[in-house]
Structure 1
Amino acid sequence: MLLDLSKLFGRSKTSKDVAKERLKLVLIHDRANVSPQFLEMVKGEIIKVIQNYMEIDEGALDLQITRTKGEDGDSVVPALVANIPIRNVKNSGK
């Protein structure tokens, strides 16, 4: 009997999945005219600020630039979308 460790510890991404995700990020960055290095710099700054107030799961943090409708409803503009898992809120001043 073979033991499938990926089922035991959760599905790991295949190289195809990783390549597909990277391609999506490159396309989004190109459309927003933002380099991946710039996005990593922004991510680092956001982490620094948030860590003053909360403990977060940095490994699960997901920061992306996507496209959304502008305020006029007709134009399409870049949007920064962040999914930041919070482990604990630090002293909230109460």
Structure 2
Amino acid sequence: MLELFSKLSRKRTSKDVAKERLKLVLIHDRANVSPQFLEMVKGEIIKVIQNYMEIDEEDLDIQLTRTQSEDGEGVVPALIANIPIKSVKNVGR
């Protein structure tokens, strides 16, 4: 229980902010999109998911990268998301 409380009350340190910025720069280089574009996409994804689930935004990880196409003939962009779900909302049941 104490661990849960400490995680919930944790504030973002300058180390966390710097790490997030470095991730954005690396993603920008890999996917050839601006960090602002990636943040916009990330924000929209979070808004849609939050309509249906409570998520842990602290541990959320969304990356835009490149991967081999299904036909194996080229490289295509890929959106990879790791979104911890706290609970599912009772919407429309």
Instruction: Give your verdict on TM over 0.5.
Output: yes
Q: Which runs of 4+ in 1 moved over 6 A?
A: none
**What TM-score comes out, normalization by structure 1 length?**
0.69
> What residue is the counterpart of 2:51 in the other structure?
52
TM-score by length of 2: 0.70
- CA deviation after TM superposition for structure 1 residue 33, in Å: 1.7
Give the partner amino acid of 2:31: A
What's 1:30 paired with? 29
* SS of corresponding position for 1:26: helix
Identity %: 75
Query: Tell me, which stretches of 5 or more residues in structure 1 are unaligned?
Result: 1-8, 10-14
Q: Report the residue type matching 1:30 in the other structure.
A: D
**Shift in Å at residue 70 of structure 1?**
0.8
Q: CA deviation at 1:73?
A: 0.6
**Number of matched residues?**
80
AA aligned to 1:32 is A
Give the match's secondary structure for 2:71.
Answer: coil
- Counterparts of 1:49 and 1:28, CA distance in 2: 22
CA-CA distance at 1:71 after TM superposition: 2.5
Higher alpha-carbon deviation: 67-76 or 43-52: 67-76
Other-structure match for 1:76: 75
The one-letter code sitting in structure 1 at the alignment partner of 2:36 is Q
Larger Rg: 1
- The CA deviation string for residues 71-94 of structure 1, in whole angstroms up to 9 with x for no partner, is 221211110100000000010544
Structure 2: where are the runs of 5+ without partners? 1-5, 7-14
2 CA distance for matches of 1:57 and 1:27?
23
CA apart distance, 1:26: 2.1
